[in-house]
Amino acid sequence: MITNKRYITDNSIENSYSESVSTLHRKEFAQFFTPFPIADLMAKWILGNDNLKTILEPAFGLGVFSRAILNRKKDVEIKGFEVDSIIFKNAKQYFNNTKNCNLILQDYMYNDWKNKYDGIICNPPYFKFHDYDNKNILKEIETNLKCKLNGFTNLYTLFLLKSIHQLSQNGRCAYIVPSEFLNSDYGKLVKQYLIKSKTLRHIIVIDFEENIFDDALTTASIILCANDNLTEKVQFSNIKSMQDLNKIDILIREYPNLSDTKQVYLLSDLNPDIKWKAYYQKQNSINFKNLVPFSTYAKVVRGIATGSNGYFTFNISKAKEYSIDEQNLLPCICSAKDVKNSFFTSQDFEKLKLNDKAIFLFNAQNLNDKNVVSYIKKGESDKIDKKYLTASRKPWHSIENRQPAPIWVSVFNRTGLRFIRNEANISNLTSFHCVYLKESDLFSKVNIDLLFAYLLSNTAKLIFTDQAREYGNGLQKFEPNDLNKALMLNINLLDNDSVNKILYFYNLYKQGFDCIGEIDKILIENFTISSYQ
C-alpha cells in the first residue's frame, strides 16, 4: 500500500497484478505496462511545467505515471480514468491514502471533454483495429476536435489527440505509443493535427533490441508535446537501450533549447503525407513499390551460442590431441572470416579442415567413449560447466539443437549484408544468423534460387539497410528481428520472363561471372516507383 510519503518506484505492482489475472483479460483491455524508468522520464517532462497543478492520467492501469510524479512532487491534483473494474479495484487499494488522486471508472474517450490540465501523461490502449468501437469513438473525436480522420485510425492516437485538446496554457503532455502511426496511412491526418496544434516538441523512437511491451510487435515512441509558444521546432531522437534514457533526460532539462544539429525540424517543414521514418532514419525502401516483410519469405534466427567457444570448437589437430572422433563432432562454421564466397560448398569445408581451421563443435553423442567422457571431465575441471550459458543447459555440454540453415547472413557488416548459400549443409555459430525458408504457404512456396539471387542483389542490401543498427565507423549490425521485420521486394510478383532472366544471371554468377548488376536492373525495372526512374 502507498503511504503519503512513499510511492512504489518499480514495476512490482504491475508484475503481481499480471500474475493474478489471465493473459486473456490483459489482452481484452490492452494492458501492457510501462517500465518504471520510462514512466519516470516521461514524468520529468510533465514536471518541467513550472505551474503544474492539475494532472490527467487517461489510461490509469496501476498508475505508474502518477507514482512517478507523486514521488517527485506531492502538491498536485491527479485525475485518472480506467475502464477495467478489476485493475481499477487494485489501483484504488494502492492509492487509497492518496487524497489528491481521484480515480474514475469511466471510458476516457467519452468523458471529461470540457476539462483542461497542466499535465497529461499516458500509455494508451493499443488494439487491433477491429477490437474496439471505432465508428462511435471516431465520431466523438471528429465532433469535438472539428477535424476529419481516417476510418482506420487506431484508438491510441485518438487518446493522444483528445489529450492535446485538453492541455491548458503551458500544459504538457507525454505519451508512449506504438510508432506505427508515424509511418502508416491512417497516421497522416493524426500527424496533420499534431502539426496544426503547434504542440509537438519531441518524438523519441525507442529502438530496443527487445520489445519493451511483452508482445507488441511494433516499436514504441515517446511523444512529448507542450502547449506553449517557446519553440517552433521538433526534434526526433532514437534510443537503443535503457542507458540512452540519460540523453533524453538532458533534452528534457534543456527545453526549450533544442539542439540545432541532429534531426531537428521546423514544425511547419514537417510533411504529414510521408512516412516520418524519413526524419529519424535514412530510408531506401521508399523508392520501391510492392514491398513485403522479409518474414513473409523466411525466418531469421541467431546461430548456435556455445557459452565457451574455446572449449567447444575443434580443429583436426585438437580432435587428434583429445582423440575425439567425428561421430562426436558437429561440422560447424565458427568464424565468418572462413567464408570467402557467396556459396559455401563441401569442398570449401574440406579445404578448411585440411588447413586445420576450427570447423567442428564438440557434440558428445557417445557417452560410452572414454575420450568423450574425459573431455567432459576436463570441461568440468576448467569450470566450463559453471559459465552463464552452459550452467543453464542440461547436460551442460549439450549444444543448441539447430538444423543447418540453407542460407546464412553475416551479423556485422561494413559493406552491406553478406548472404551465403550453405551448400555444405553444416551448422553455424553466432557470427552468422540462420535463414530458414518459410514453407507454410503451399501456393507461393518460394524458389530458393530466386530468393537467393534476390538476396545477392545490391537492391536487396540497400533496402535491408533501412533496418540496420549503426555502430559508427560504417559498421552495421543486424539482429535477427531487424531482418525479420525488414522489407524486401515481393519477388512472387515477378513474371516468368523476369524470373528466368534472373535465374540465368544467377547461374552465370555462380560460375564466376560478375553479373549481379544485371539482376539489379531487372529488379529496378519491376519495382522502382516511376517518379524515381
Ligand X SMILES: C[S@@+](CC[C@H](N)C(=O)[O-])C[C@H]1O[C@@H](n2cnc3c(N)ncnc32)[C@H](O)[C@@H]1O
Give whichever of 212 and 267 is closer to ligand X, judged by the CB atom. Answer: 212
Distance CA 149, CA 474 (A): 41
Distance CA 233, CA 257 (A): 9
Q: Cβ-count burial of 2 within 10 angstroms (0-12 exposed, 13-18 middle, 19+ buried)?
A: buried
Give whichever of 34 and 154 is closer to ligand X, judged by the CB atom. Answer: 34
CB of 109 to ligand X, least distance (A): 5
Give whichever of 108 and 236 is closer to ligand X, judged by the CB atom. Answer: 108
Give whichever of 34 and 134 is closer to ligand X, judged by the CB atom. Answer: 34
Distance CA 188, CA 398 (A): 52
CB of 90 to ligand X, least distance (A): 10
State the residue number with the nearest CB to ligand X: 61
CB of 145 to ligand X, least distance (A): 17
Q: How many residues are recorded in the chain?
A: 533
Is 239:206 a contact under the CB 8 Å cutoff? yes
Q: Pinpoint the alpha helices (H) of 274-343.
A: 277-280, 309-312, 316-321
Q: Across 187-321, where does the E strand assignment appear?
A: 200-206, 220-226, 233-239, 264-266, 291-293, 298-302, 313-314
Q: Could you tell me which residues come within 8 angstroms of residue 49 by beta carbon, excluding any fewer than 6 positions away?
A: 118, 119, 170, 171, 172, 226
CB of 106 to ligand X, least distance (A): 7
Distance CA 503, CA 447 (A): 10
Give whichever of 84 and 385 is closer to ligand X, judged by the CB atom. Answer: 84
CB of 465 to ligand X, least distance (A): 33
Give whichever of 140 and 338 is closer to ligand X, judged by the CB atom. Answer: 140
CB of 500 to ligand X, least distance (A): 51
Give whichever of 175 and 362 is closer to ligand X, judged by the CB atom. Answer: 175
Give whichever of 77 and 338 is closer to ligand X, judged by the CB atom. Answer: 77
In this structure, what C-alpha cell is assigned to residue 165? 485538446
Per-residue b or e along 70-107, where b marks 16 or more CB atoms closer than 10 Å to that residue's CB = bbeeeebebbbbbbbeebbebbeebbeebeebebebee
Give whichever of 82 and 118 is closer to ligand X, judged by the CB atom. Answer: 82
CB of 110 to ligand X, least distance (A): 8
Q: Could you tell me which residues come within 8 angstroms of residue 88 by beta carbon, excluding any fewer than 6 positions away?
A: 60, 82, 103, 105
In this structure, what C-alpha cell is assigned to residue 470? 549503426
The sign of the CA dihedral 173, 179, 183, 188 is: negative
CB of 213 to ligand X, least distance (A): 8
DSSP strand pairing (360-362 vs 298-302): unpaired
Other beta carbons within 10 Å of 267: 17
Distance CA 378, CA 392 (A): 19
Amino acid code (one letter) for 40:
D
**DSSP for 38-102, written as a single string:** HHHHHHHHHHTSTT--EEEESS-TT-HHHHHHHHH--S-EEEEEE--HHHHHHHHHHTTT-TTEE
CB of 473 to ligand X, least distance (A): 38
Q: Contact positions toward ligand X, by CB under 6 A?
A: 14, 29-34, 59-61, 64, 81-84, 87, 107-109, 123, 125
Give whichever of 83 and 508 is closer to ligand X, judged by the CB atom. Answer: 83
CB of 21 to ligand X, least distance (A): 11
